[in-house]
Structure 1
Amino acid sequence: MKYIQGGGIRMDAGKLYDVIGIGIGPSNLGLAALLDPLEEIDGLFFEQNTSFEWHPGMLIDKSVLNSSFLSDLVTFADPTNPYSFLNYLHKHNRMYQFFFYQKFNIPRKEYNSYAKWVASQLGDCKFGRQVTNVEDGTGDWYDVTVFNIETGENHSYRARHVVIGTGSTPMIPEDIKDEMNEDICHTSSYLYNEKNIKRGSHVSVIGSGQSAAEVFYDLLQDQKHYGYKLSWLTRSPQFFQTEDAKVGREIFSPDFVDYFQSLSFDSRTSALPYLDQARKQIEPGVLENIYNELYHRSIERKDPDVLLQPMTELRGIRSLSGGNYELTMHQWQKNMSYSHITSKVIVATGYKPNVPKWLKKYKDKIYWEDENTMVVGKDYEFLFKKERPNHLFTLTNLDQSHGTGATNLALSVYRNQRIINKIAGYERYAIQEDTIFQQFMPDEK
């Protein structure tokens, strides 16, 4: 690649890409994999981390995806694509092992290995590159500034379209943000702190959802080796399990995403809490494993040194002498506050969208649903007040616009199909319709 020097930024001389992807998580990695066999679309993808890593702090032994292996990076768009999970198994001589494994859900560690295998084969995926700015070009393109972490140089690239796939970051409540340390960590860094956590005398998991359950179950299994007390406290009314009925799971379909997007902004916003039963709760298998462990332990021990308590909210953390912490808890249904003494804390408070700072410069050019939510079109593009042929697509912060299609791995391929078709100007990857047995509104007459 040839560069010219200019203003401290090395410019790509004359090259105009069709699309540049910012961030290489499963979404943009899948986009790169689907673009790889297409000669008509020239793409380039940048990731600030030096290698592909998918939630490395939560790759707990024996934890599994809550999606089928069919929801890999490419299969729903093109089952013949060489970057399918089945081809990964074939290339690694694991096809028979997976066949006899007899499960649809694959281990998280294996999904991470699969994605790293795909990333290693895609020359258009560049790691150790941080996108620091995206400016409107003088023509129908964007100027993308990229910082090379290894060399310390800035480079500028041009692209007709840009796809934001910057994922999410841990969401830490403001009243405990200053207290985070090696004893008090978010689930996203659990494995990095695991040894220290398990050396505690009392370990407390705060929050609900799949991550909280997986961490709690891992701690529960190792409790007999370390001897700590173990608590799981959540403000949720119950330890809710994910909707697992087959018909209920049909909301993770292109049909439902299309229906959801057809609703008004107020209707979409009010519908989101009802979708959480399927999106943000705990897989039944994990809850079953937890209960079975507690049941077998209860045969010989009446006091298992385990506390499970819903309806209880964390209000604050205070450091005590001797390496302990005082947690101010509030049981909201009884309106009762009390102190909970523990030595280690894992907060499972979820994630928030990682929205790039440079996007703020487009604020007055883009339509907004309200003061905090930008309008996102059916093809995952921001809607500009002045129509333009060069699009800014987003795979981040989509809850309000696409509901169940926001982060679900099973719908990641569908999101990429729509983006590729928009870029190509025709249906390069066929969008399947009428894919489920139910409908969400009466037929128009």
Structure 2
Amino acid sequence: MYDVIGIGIGPFNLGLAALLEDIPELNGLFFDKKKEFAWHPGLLIEGTDLQVAFLADLVTMANPQSRYTFLHYLHKSDRLYRFYTFNEFDIPRQEFNEYLAWAASDIGSCNFGSEVIRVADSGKHYKVTVKDTESGSETVYEAKHVVMGTGSEPFVPVELDDELRKDTIYSPEYLYRRDELKDAESITVIGSGQSAAEIFSDLLNGAAHRGCRLQWITRSTGFRELETAKLGQEMFTPEYIEYFNQLPFQERLNTLPELNGLRNGIDSATLAAIYNNLYHRSISGGSPDVYIQSMSELTHVEKKKEHCQLTFKQRQLDETFQVDSQKVILATGFKPHIPEWFDYFKDDIEWEDEKRFKVSDDFRLVFHKEREHHFFTLTNLDHSHGTGATNLKLSAYRNQKIINTILGREYYSLKKKAAFQQFLPAKKN
């Protein structure tokens, strides 16, 4: 009988596993069907940086003394002096991935090549069935609590048959399939987030694509810079998350679009690099073979002889237009990945609408009947915890809340003031 079983090993559950290493009274197991740890490996484009500071690692915000801090990793890797001279808070994404992989390989509770295929409620605990992805053998584990951290999957706005899929690359596949783009006469990137911008910039800088027509199209109103104002960043604090969680459901949904600039924008350096590249190409009458269009939603894709025909609707004018492209890259965002076995619980939990289950402030699913064996989720939280639901800065906070609930006491003190601004109305003394 384990205290907790984590399903999926991404940065969030990996952080939970790391914190549990220093809490002897709790034991846990973590499972992931991947053979080894990898964090968006298809998007680890050379030169790209993390959009949060290195302090948003697995454990620092909860326990800076942990041996799983990023700084300790640098020390163990003999890179601490170089990092000091590097003198940056935003670190290379490739290095952050290597740090996460280092932690995953060192934490004994992390098990890869192990796919959770079933979770059942036995009344006072959970039975978790895990399949070995190589041998196919199944093992049943028991746990007082489970934490679902199954991450996300690409959001695909249109239907793609097998023939279209051959010419369409989802953004997480980019580096794996980049060689397929070498001889393309035209490539279209769809989306306006950081991943779309990094892919477009990589294609723009690639010598292999100098004779290629590059197209970048998005349904968003523009190619917006990520909001980095310091008071705005206080939306990624425990105070705001707790405030957001207590709002009425519809008010939370109405608020999410207002917070988009804090999460869905593009790093200013990436935007500047793209513009500067285009500007240099335009000198002496040059005309880069580039087409950039916003406010245009992809509505249909059809395979023609040598290309894909993309149909868009310009949203403000309500006009339809078409673009031809040999290859298409969909960087249209992600949606929560909810595994099939979760259907077992769908009638026992409360739902806020047909897609969004109700989640308490400490990340528990809310069941119709109260229970002491909890089901926590780190997936599908935008509607309950706002734009900070997927932010690395708050991953340690989420895990602190979960650990406190499991222990039934305040192991971590979370009442410390983190924001200068007030989110609740002022009260008179």
With normalisation by structure 1, the TM-score equals 0.93
Could you say what secondary structure the match of 2:250 adopts? Answer: helix
Could you say what secondary structure the match of 1:358 adopts? Answer: helix
> Is residue 55 of structure 1 aligned with residue 40 of structure 2?
yes
Match of 2:94 among 109, 115, 133: 109
> Is residue 222 of structure 1 aligned with residue 206 of structure 2?
yes
Cα distance change on mapping 1:367 and 1:224 into 2, 3 Å:
closer
- Counterpart in 2 of 1:242? 226
Matches within 5 A, 1:83-98: 83-98=68-83
CA displacement at 1:433 relative to structure 2:
2.9
Could you say what secondary structure the match of 2:390 adopts? Answer: coil
> Is residue 363 of structure 1 aligned with residue 346 of structure 2?
yes
- Counterpart in 1 of 2:248? 264
Structure 2: which amino acid aligns with 1:271?
Answer: T
Unaligned runs of 5+ in 1: 1-15
The CA distance in 2 between the partners of 1:25 and 1:104, in whole Å, is 22
Moved over 4 A (4+): 177-180, 223-226
Match of 1:278 among 251, 262, 270: 262
- Counterpart in 1 of 2:279? 295
- Counterpart in 2 of 1:4? none
Could you say what secondary structure the match of 1:112 adopts? Answer: helix
- Counterpart in 1 of 2:407? 424
The CA distance in 2 between the partners of 1:301 and 1:254, in whole Å, is 53
- Counterpart in 1 of 2:125? 141
Matches within 5 A, 1:177-256: 180-223=164-207, 226-256=210-240
Structure 2: which amino acid aligns with 1:35?
Answer: L
Match of 2:376 among 393, 417, 422: 393
The CA distance in 2 between the partners of 1:235 and 1:371, in whole Å, is 25
CA displacement at 1:178 relative to structure 2:
5.2
The CA distance in 1 between the partners of 2:11 and 2:239, in whole Å, is 22
- Counterpart in 1 of 2:50? 65
Structure 2: which amino acid aligns with 1:227?
Answer: G
Cα distance change on mapping 1:371 and 1:332 into 2, 3 Å:
closer
Could you say what secondary structure the match of 1:419 adopts? Answer: helix
Match of 2:297 among 291, 302, 313: 313
Unaligned runs of 5+ in 2: none
CA displacement at 1:40 relative to structure 2:
0.3
- Report if aligned partners of 1:367, 1:383 keep a CA contact under 8 Å in 2: yes
Cα deviation digits, residues 213-233 of structure 1 (max 9, x gap)? 110011111156642111101
- Report if aligned partners of 2:167, 2:327 keep a CA contact under 8 Å in 1: yes
- Report if aligned partners of 1:128, 1:150 keep a CA contact under 8 Å in 2: yes
CA displacement at 1:51 relative to structure 2:
0.3
Could you say what secondary structure the match of 1:316 adopts? Answer: strand
The CA distance in 2 between the partners of 1:135 and 1:20, in whole Å, is 13
- Report if aligned partners of 2:225, 2:265 keep a CA contact under 8 Å in 1: yes
The CA distance in 2 between the partners of 1:399 and 1:24, in whole Å, is 20
Identity of aligned residues (%): 49
Could you say what secondary structure the match of 1:106 adopts? Answer: strand
The CA distance in 2 between the partners of 1:179 and 1:265, in whole Å, is 41
The CA distance in 2 between the partners of 1:278 and 1:59, in whole Å, is 22
Cα deviation digits, residues 327-383 of structure 1 (max 9, x gap)? 122222233222211111101111111112222222222122223221101110011
With normalisation by structure 2, the TM-score equals 0.97
> Is residue 349 of structure 1 aligned with residue 328 of structure 2?
no
Q: How many residues align?
A: 428
- Report if aligned partners of 2:182, 2:208 keep a CA contact under 8 Å in 1: no
The CA distance in 2 between the partners of 1:262 and 1:395, in whole Å, is 18
Structure 2: which amino acid aligns with 1:166?
Answer: T
Two-structure CA RMSD over aligned residues (Å): 1.4
> Is residue 19 of structure 1 aligned with residue 4 of structure 2?
yes
CA displacement at 1:403 relative to structure 2:
0.3
- Report if aligned partners of 1:354, 1:396 keep a CA contact under 8 Å in 2: yes
> Is residue 40 of structure 1 aligned with residue 25 of structure 2?
yes
